[in-house]
């Protein structure tokens, strides 16, 4: 059987709200929890055959967004569509589609009380493009024992098992949702290398959510940045590396160059000023900077993420791990 | 590798240009495939592809269908001519500006240049012009 072509995934004005509910308080008394908006106005695309990084802080809505792709949940409003180009459909209760979409969450979906090999045969039945030999190779690479129960594995080994399942299933849309959690650095890099090598040989659509930006940014062709349930940007990764720039030099010259720009941060060190600005510099700007003794530095993707998500969070508390903002008078949407 | 501030594809292109200039890559030598590049340097294959695309446009590399990328005939000469044109503006001018700040005279600089022959190769040509 020929493997399916890589899938595109599209979000069209998607909203997810968690309904009002009850939870048990500290003293055993139930209390009402107001509903919250997890995702709002999400419109973006994970292009077919490319590796996209989904970045954002804890609680930004990354996992909620990714679970929509596998039809683990339905959007409250809007449409989520997946499939080969030209044939995008709603994955909800569509067995053919969902067997081609694999969302790997931390620890993976494994048979906890069975040996690892039992999980493998389960995936072999469920996933049309499952490669059993490759799966065993990866287990060797990550040093995960095949004849142990998944429940006795360490956190790092369970993550490695989850990564193995994600890679060996070769699903046309493969999503790794913070799958590296608990892996040590050598294992993480072995995972990145395996991912690139297998992706080059078996092209498919890959989405990786991550907050280890520096470590993973070079794997990405595209980046979607999520903040508090909204898409802040969705662009080719290489363009973003030079988006946040620092200008360091004599105060007057720096101020002149920074005039009219979106200044994110300003620091004075005696006669020297350092400003961080958002937005690319033209070649003329670069020449003017060099002539005035101003040094240009790039803050990379990590710098961009920190600046873009910090400025929009000012004056708010931390949203926790899953919840977004309180739902202000929008209960009627349910 | 490729930790500079510019987009990675520009850094890859720059590395290959430097290898062609230094002779490390000879004309008609095959360069690494995008897949080898991606896995060796842990970067997205499309990024390497973009660098190769730019180098093909500059006629530093050319593609042989089904075989891969090769260094184009005359690539080194073209790169030399191009880099020579930019050498004074981009390399020497900042060095001289720094010398002026430090009050180093033109005579001192000329004396240093004369006493400092490049190792091997083109020293005969160097004497003629100095």
Domain definitions of chain A by residue range = 7-20+35-237, 241-311
DSSP code string of A147-168: TSBGGGS-HHHHHHHHHHHHHH
- Tell me the shortest Cα–Cα distance from B123 to chain A, in angstroms: 34
pLDDT at residue A137, rounded to an integer: 96
Assess contact for A175 and A69: CB atoms under 8 A: yes
Domain definitions of chain B by residue range = 8-73, 76-129
Q: Which of A196, A218, A220 sits opposite B39 (nearest CB)?
A: A196
Fold of A241-311: Alpha-Beta Plaits (3.30.70)
pLDDT at residue A245, rounded to an integer: 86
- Tell me the shortest Cα–Cα distance from B47 to chain A, in angstroms: 7
Supply the DSSP symbol for B33.
P
Question: What span, in angstroms and rounded, lies between the C-alpha atoms of A25 and A187?
Answer: 40
pLDDT at residue A91, rounded to an integer: 95
Beta-carbon separation of A199 and B45 below 8 A: yes
Suggest the residue from B45, B89, B98 to mutate for an interface test with chain A (most A CBs closer than 10 A): B45
Beta-carbon separation of A219 and B35 below 8 A: no
Question: What span, in angstroms and rounded, lies between the C-alpha atoms of A208 and A180?
Answer: 10
pLDDT at residue B117, rounded to an integer: 65
| Residue A21, SS3 per DSSP | strand
Beta-carbon separation of A221 and B46 below 8 A: yes
Q: Minimal Cα distance from A203: which residue of B?
A: B45
Class of domain A7-20+35-237: alpha beta
Q: Where residue A317 falls among pLDDT bands split at 50, 70, 90?
A: very low
* B49-95 per-position pLDDT tens digit: 999 999 999 999 999 988 889 999 999 999 999 899 889 888 898 88
* A258-279 per-position pLDDT tens digit: 888 888 888 888 889 999 888 8
**A7-20+35-237 shares its CATH topology with A241-311:** no
- Tell me the shortest Cα–Cα distance from A35 to chain B, in angstroms: 40
Q: Which residues pair with A272 in a beta bridge?
A: A250, A269
Measured between beta carbons, the chain B residues lying within 8 angstroms of A297 are: 5
Q: Supply the ipTM of this predicted assembly.
A: 0.75
Q: What is the CA radius of gyration of chain A?
A: 23
- Tell me the shortest Cα–Cα distance from A270 to chain B, in angstroms: 21
Class of domain B8-73: mainly alpha
Beta-carbon separation of A200 and B34 below 8 A: yes
CA distances in angstroms from A61 to A54, A114, A308, B118, listed in the order given = 10, 32, 16, 59
- Give yes or no for residue A285 having a pLDDT over 70: yes
Strand-pair category, A51-55 with A205-210: parallel
* A169-204 per-position pLDDT tens digit: 999 999 999 998 889 999 999 999 999 999 999 999
Give A 278-307 residues with CB within 8 A of chain B. Answer: 297-298, 300
Tell me, yes or no, if A202 comes closer than 8 A to chain B by beta carbon: no
Q: Where residue B119 falls among pLDDT bands split at 50, 70, 90?
A: low
CA distances in angstroms from A80 to A68, B9, B22, listed in the order given = 7, 33, 52
- Give yes or no for residue B115 having a pLDDT over 90: no
Most confident of A13-27, A92-106, A283-297: A92-106
Please return the burial class of B3, using the count of CB atoms within 10 Å of its CB with bins 0-12, 13-18 and 19+. Answer: exposed
Tell me, yes or no, if A220 comes closer than 8 A to chain B by beta carbon: yes
């Amino acid at each position: 059987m020929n493997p399916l072509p890589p899938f595109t995934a599209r979000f069209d004005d998607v909203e997810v709200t968690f309904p009002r509910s009850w939870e048990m308080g500290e003293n055993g008394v139930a209390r009402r929890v107001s509903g919250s908006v997890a995702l709002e106005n999400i419109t973006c695309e994970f292009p077919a055959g490319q590796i996209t990084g989904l970045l954002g802080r804890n609680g930004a809505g990354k996992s909620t967004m990714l679970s929509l792709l596998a039809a683990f949940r339905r959007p409250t409003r809007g449409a989520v569509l997946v499939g080969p180009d030209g044939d995008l459909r709603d994955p909800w209760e569509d067995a053919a589609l969902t067997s081609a979409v694999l969302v790997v969450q931390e620890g993976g979906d494994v048979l906890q009380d069975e040996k690892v090999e039992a999980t493998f045969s389960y995936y072999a039945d469920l996933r049309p493009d499952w490669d059993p030999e490759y799966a065993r190779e990866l287990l060797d690479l990550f040093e995960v024992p095949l004849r142990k129960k998944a429940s006795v594995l360490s956190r790092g080994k369970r993550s490695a098992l989850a990564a193995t399942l994600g890679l060996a299933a070769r699903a046309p849309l493969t999503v790794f949702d913070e799958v590296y959690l608990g892996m040590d650095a050598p294992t993480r890099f072995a995972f990145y290398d395996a991912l690139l090598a297998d992706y080059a040989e078996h092209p498919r659509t890959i989405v990786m959510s991550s907050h280890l930006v520096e470590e993973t940014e070079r794997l990405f062709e595209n980046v979607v940045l999520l903040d508090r349930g909204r898409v802040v940007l969705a662009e080719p990764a290489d363009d973003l590396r030079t988006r946040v720039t620092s200008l360091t030099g004599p105060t007057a010259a720096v101020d002149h160059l920074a005039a009219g720009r979106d200044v994110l941060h300003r620091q004075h060190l005696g006669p020297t000023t350092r400003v961080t600005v958002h937005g690319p510099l033209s070649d003329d700007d670069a020449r003017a900077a060099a002539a005035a003794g101003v040094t240009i530095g790039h803050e990379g993707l990590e710098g961009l993420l920190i600046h873009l998500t910090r400025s929009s969070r000012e004056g708010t508390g931390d949203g926790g791990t899953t919840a977004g903002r309180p739902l202000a008078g929008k209960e009627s949407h349910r | 590798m490729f930790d500079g501030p510019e987009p990675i594809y520009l850094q890859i292109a720059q590395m290959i240009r430097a290898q062609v200039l230094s002779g490390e890559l000879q004309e008609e030598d095959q360069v690494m495939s995008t897949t080898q590049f991606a896995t060796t340097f842990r970067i997205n294959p499309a990024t390497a592809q973009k660098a190769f695309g730019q180098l093909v446009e500059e006629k530093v590399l050319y593609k042989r269908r089904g075989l891969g990328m090769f260094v184009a005939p005359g690539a080194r000469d073209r790169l030399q001519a191009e880099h020579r044109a930019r050498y004074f503006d981009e390399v020497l001018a900042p060095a001289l500006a720094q010398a002026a700040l430090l009050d180093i005279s033109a005579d001192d600089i000329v004396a240093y240049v004369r006493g400092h022959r490049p190792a091997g190769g083109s020293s005969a040509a160097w004497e003629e012009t100095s």
